[in-house]
Chain A
Amino acid sequence: MQAHAALEYDYSVAKLFTFTTILFGILGMIIGTLIAAQLAFPELNYLLGEYGTFSRLRPLHTNIVIFGFTLSGVFATFYYVAQRVLKVSMAESKFIMFISKLHFWLYFVGALIAVITLLLGYTQAKEYAQFEWPIDIVIVLVWVLWGVAMFGLIGIRREKALYISMWYYIACFLGIAMLYLFNNMSVPTYFASGGLGNILHSVSMYSGTNDALVQWWYGHNAVAFGFTVPIVAMIYYFLPKESGQAIYSYKLSLLSFWGLMFVYLWAGSHHLLWSTVPDWMQTMGSVFSIVLILPSWGSAINMLLTMKGEWNQLTENPLIKFMVLASTFYMLSTLEGPIQAIKSVNAIAHFTDWIPGHVHDGVLGWVVFMIMAALFHMAPRMFKREIYSKKMLEAQFWLQTVAVVLYFTSMWIAGITQGMMWRAVDEYGNLMYSFIDTVTVLHPYYAIRALSGVLYLIGFLMFAYNMYKTMTSSRELSEEPQFRSPMA
C-alpha cells in the first residue's frame, strides 16, 4: 500500500491539451470575428489577397473552432476527468502515458498541417469534412490513439462502475469514429487516374442525393457527438464537483443518455428539408428533431436540479454561473433547433442567418462557456495555484453573455427578415425583392454581429490571460481544493 500513498494523478497530457484549447480558441475566434466583419464590410475581404477572403476563411474558422478548440477541450477534460472518475493515475502505466503523448503530438502536428492546407485552398468541399484524404488518415490515427488511451485507462481502473461522464466520452469516441469514416470515404484521383492532377485531390465515393444524405447524417451528428455529447460529459463531472452536490438524478442521466443516442442519429435529414431526398426521410428528420427535445432537456434539467437548495452558489461562485448559463443555453438551442426543423418553419429559416444564429447560441453559450468553466476548475488542481482573478472572471462572464445575446438576437431578426423578403410576392406573383435589397436591409444586423464577435473575443482573451496568470504567478496552494475552486 506504500506505493498507493505517493500515487498522484498525472495531468501532463491534460495540460498540453489545455494549451492548445486556448491557442486554437484565440485563433478560431479572431477569424470568426474577421469573417463576421467581412459580411458587414466587404472591403475587409481584400486584406491578404486570396488568403484573406471570406470563402477561404470560413472553413478555417469552422474547422479551427471545432477540431482545434472544441476537440482540444474534450481531450484536455478527458485526460483530467477519466483518471479521477476511474480512480487510476496515468503515471501507473508507461504505455498509456506514451500513447497519450503520441496522441497529443500527432494531433497538434496534424492540426497545423490541416490549417495550412485549408489556407492554401485544398478542400473536399464538404462542410466540416473539408480535409483532404492524407489529413483524414492522420485524423483516424489520432482517433485510434485516443481510443487506446481511453480503453487502456478503463482497463486498469479501480472504480468498477463507469461514471456517466465516461459513457458520454465513450459515445463521443465511437460516434465520431463511425461518422467520420463513412462520410470521408473518397477516391484519390491521382492514383485512380494513373498519375493525373494534384495528389491531394479526391472525390467522394457517394454521389448526388446519397452524398448529401451521408454528408448531413455526418454534419448533424458532428454537432451531436462533438458539441453535445462530450460537453454533457463535462458538465456531469464539473458541476457536481465544483458545487459539492451529486447529480440530481443518476437514473435520469442514464435514461437521457440512451434517449440521446437513439434519437440523434436519425435527425440529420432535417438539413435537407424540401430537397430531393425521399419525403419520408424528411418527415423522419423533422419528427426525430422534435423528439430530441426530450433527452436534451432531460440532461439540462438534471443539471439545473443538481443546484437545488444551493442556488446561493450562483451568486457566490462565478464558475457555477458559467455552468448554469451553459446549461440554460443548451436548453435554448435544443428548443430552437427542433423549431427550425419543422417543415413550414424551415421553409423560412433555411439558408438564412437564423441558422448561424442558432449555431452560435449553442456554441458560444453552451460549448465555449462549459469548456472555459472546466479549464478554470482544472487549473488550480493541475497547476496547484488559485485562480488569478475573480473580478476578471466576473467581468468576462458579463461581457461574453452580452456578446452571445447580441449575436443570436441580431441573427434572429436578420434571418427571419431575409426569409420573409425572399419569398414575398406581389399581387401578380412576382418576387418583390431582389437579393441586394435584403443585403441592404440586413447591414445593421451584420454590424451588430461583428461587434458581438469583438466583445466575445475580448472575453476569451481575458480568459486566456487569467489562465496564463493562474499557471504562472498566482498564489500557490498547499493542498488540493475539494469542491469550490479557490480564486483571488
Chain B
Amino acid sequence: MDIRELQGYASFFMTIFLVVMLYWYIIYLYRSEKKGEKDYEKLGNIALDDEIDSKPINSSSVTPSENKEQKK
C-alpha cells in the first residue's frame, strides 16, 4: 500500500468517525434538554437582552469590577 492509498483510507475513516461524533452531538443536545440539565433555547435571549446592566442569562461567578473590589 503506498502513501496515497493510506491517505485515502485515513481520510475515509476519519470522516466516519466525525460523522458519528456529529450524530452523537445531536443526541446529546436533545437528551440533556429532555433531562432538564440544560436549556439551550433560552440562550437565544442573549442577543435580545444585551444591555450592560441587564442580568446575564448565565452569570459568571466573578465580574471584572467585583473582582477589583475584592482585591481592594
B-binding residues in A (CB < 8 A): 3-5, 7-9, 83-85, 87-89, 92-93, 156-161, 163-165, 236-237, 240-241, 244, 246-247, 249-251, 254-255, 258-259, 262, 266, 278, 280, 284, 483
Contact = CB atoms under 8 A, between A and B. Distances in A.
Interface in B1-43: 4, 7-8, 11, 15, 18, 22, 25-26, 29-30, 33, 40-41, 43
Contacts of A161: 43, 46, 57-58
A5 B53 contact: yes
B70 interface: no
Nearest to B64: A156
B64 A251 contact: no
Determine chain B's interface SS by DSSP, over half rule.
helix
Contacts of B30: 251
Contacts of B41: 246, 249-251
Given A7-B53, A254-B40, A255-B25, A247 B47 contact: yes
Interface of B: 4, 7-8, 11, 15, 18, 22, 25-26, 29-30, 33, 40-41, 43-48, 50-54, 56-60, 63-65
A92 B26 CA distance: 38
Given A255-B26, A262-B18, A158 B43 contact: no
Given A247-B44, A251-B40, A258 B50 contact: no
Contacts of B60: 157-160
A7 B53 CA distance: 8
Nearest to A483: B48
Given A259-B22, A278-B4, A284-B11, A236 B47 contact: yes
B50 A85 contact: yes
21 contacts: A3-B65, A4-B65, A7-B52, A8-B52, A84-B50, A85-B46, A85-B50, A89-B52, A93-B64, A161-B46, A161-B58, A163-B43, A244-B48, A246-B45, A247-B47, A250-B43, A254-B29, A258-B22, A258-B25, A262-B22, A278-B8
Given A237-B47, A251-B30, A87 B52 contact: yes
B47 A246 contact: yes
Given A9-B52, A254-B29, A241 B59 contact: no
Contacts of A163: 43, 46-47
A3 B50 CA distance: 18
A110 to B, nearest CB: 31
